[in-house]
Amino acid sequence: MWRSRNYLLLCMMMLFSHASLPAQMLKIGNEEGFVQGINIPWRYYGQDFGGRHNRQYDPSFYDRMFAKVAASGVNCVRMWIHCDGRQSPRLGSNGSIERLGDQFLADIGDFIDRAAEHDLLVLPVLWTFEMADGRLSDLLTDEAMQQSYITESLIPLLQHTKDKCNILAWEIINEPEWAMDIPFAGTTKHTVPAVAMQQFVGRIAEAVHRHSPHRVTVGSAGLRFNTDVFAQTKNYWHDLAFQRAGLTCGTATLDFYSVHYYRWRFENLSPFRHSTEELQLDKPVLIGEFGVLEEPAGTLLEKALINGYAGAMAWSLLANDGFGSWSDYEGDMNVFSREKAPFMPPSNRCMSDAEPPMTSCLLYPNPAGSAVSISVAHSSAILLSMVDLAGRLIIDRKEIEPERYLLDLSGYVSGIYHIILQRPNGQLLSRQRLAVLD
């Protein structure tokens, strides 16, 4: 009876204890900076690159657009690529994905280069949730088809752009929750289980981390799907979620979170009301989309900065869907960029030396008794530290074997501890809560 009560108490302590990292901005080159961005997000939905269906890529159009937004202090643009898959990539007669054409790759390369000329970062978005109802819907669940996409389309795209210094990250999919069979979501005609979407995202994340120096994220539809701390919320994109889906710790992971917010959607779960500290997340958080609200854009940008977010990207420049337009943001962004210049270093910095992703590797069992197994998918040296809730250092940078390490817990009193994994150079790899039962 005592043990079961103690177990329940420790689980509650794990739920409510603050184990989050300090709020972090994203590195832009060798500096940390606030992302003040704008969603383009397309000129011709799903047909902007590759020159098919009479939709030719127009470099001069983007030159003018980049000049306009850069003049108002924008330092990042978010652009969608495949969208729902209506034009790219092509599907072969055998059901596999065909190789992206040279013109497609050239167009995307030119887009990124032209953005760099205007000192703009680019956040390219591969897919959006509407693919679940499109011609390539099987890509979400068919592992063989996913592998053909990775081999024939994604890897050539990553290789073509690997030296582009101004790619903020690759966003795998926009608002995937609307295509997932989960509470408060699943609005597409066809939905997939959460684990299937996590596997789709995780496999692409693995490929990006193997073949590109750039970061990876997902454009989550809202905080409801990206944190565990509030009632009826769940973080579907934590490293452990990918591991539970059968993917590899250390590569199937996001480098930062990205959440969206509109006034009509989950109003109480607004990033402009909740700080990143409240969210208790282990990585930086970008507000990847926000629309017109009751407050001016400048006020929202200020709140995003104060609340610890890595940046905020307004919707939108060209979507023309009633949720916001350039005229709603232009003046406020201009003022904000001047007032907050120290937080916004130049964007065109080479990111080929981007740090490897932070990982939250598996502790098992948790809660633990006399020992806990720590799985770390790294071949290099790992240093382990252990801290109790009072901040006392219990284990100080102990070198452990990679892959799997058994930590002896005999002699430790019951309680909540933080397990911290670092590289020898001090780079943080993981910080997790561990409950110990004596």
In eight-state DSSP terms, residue 111 is H
pLDDT at 5: 47
Q: Same domain, yes or no, for 332 and 371?
A: no
- 3-state helix, strand, coil split of the chain in percent (to 5) is 30, 25, 45
Q: Same domain, yes or no, for 88 and 210?
A: yes
In a domain, residue 352? The reply is no
If one counts the domains in the chain, the total is 2
pLDDT at 357: 54
- Averaged over successive runs of 10 residues, the pLDDT of the chain (438 residues) comes to 45 40 61 89 94 80 95 95 95 90 96 94 98 97 96 97 94 98 96 98 96 96 94 93 87 94 82 91 94 85 93 94 90 90 61 49 82 77 82 85 84 87 73 81
The answer to whether the beta carbons of residues 249 and 375 sit under 8 Å apart is: yes
In a domain, residue 2? The reply is no
Q: Same domain, yes or no, for 264 and 372?
A: no
In a domain, residue 91? The reply is yes
Residue 382, Ramachandran bin (φ over 0: left; ψ between -120 and 50: alpha; else beta):
beta
Q: Which of 294, 309, 343 is the last residue of a domain?
A: 343
pLDDT at 353: 42
Q: CA–CA distance from 235 to each of 17, 32, 194, 254, 369 (Å)?
A: 17, 25, 11, 12, 27
For β-strands 363-364 and 371-376, DSSP reports them as antiparallel
Q: Same domain, yes or no, for 202 and 229?
A: yes
144 contacts: CB under 8 Å, gap ≥ 6 = 96
Q: Same domain, yes or no, for 373 and 336?
A: no
Q: Same domain, yes or no, for 324 and 368?
A: no
Chain length of the chain: 438
Q: Which of 317, 343, 369 is the last residue of a domain?
A: 343
pLDDT at 345: 63
Q: How far apart are the first and last CA of the chain?
A: 14
In a domain, residue 371? The reply is yes
Q: Same domain, yes or no, for 331 and 369?
A: no
| Structural domain of 265 | 22-343
Helix segments in 212-294, DSSP class H? 239-244, 276-279
Residue 133 φ then ψ, to 5°: -110, 10
- Decide: helix, strand or coil at residue 285: strand
Q: Same domain, yes or no, for 378 and 324?
A: no
In a domain, residue 14? The reply is no
Cis peptide before 193 (omega within 30 of 0): no
Q: Same domain, yes or no, for 305 and 408?
A: no
Give me the amino acid identity at 78: R
Q: What is the CATH number of the domain that holds 105?
A: 3.20.20.80
Distance CA 93, CA 263 (A): 44
Distance CA 308, CA 212 (A): 28
pLDDT at 106: 96
- Decide: helix, strand or coil at residue 71: helix
In a domain, residue 192? The reply is yes
Q: Which of 242, 209, 256 is nearest to 23 (CA)?
A: 256
In a domain, residue 330? The reply is yes
Q: Same domain, yes or no, for 327 and 413?
A: no
Distance CA 178, CA 197 (A): 11
Residue 101 neighbours by CB distance under 10 Å = 17
Q: Same domain, yes or no, for 164 and 103?
A: yes
Q: Which of 293, 313, 343 is the last residue of a domain?
A: 343
Distance CA 393, CA 260 (A): 37
Q: What is the CATH number of the domain that holds 388?
A: 2.60.40.10
- Decide: helix, strand or coil at residue 313: strand
Q: Which of 132, 76, 14, 119 is nearest to 312 (CA)?
A: 76
In a domain, residue 351? The reply is no
Q: Same domain, yes or no, for 406 and 303?
A: no
Q: Which of 123, 37, 113, 39 is nearest to 75 (CA)?
A: 37
In eight-state DSSP terms, residue 381 is -
Packing angle of the helix pair 326-339, 297-306 (nearest 10 deg): 50
pLDDT at 323: 87
pLDDT at 360: 55
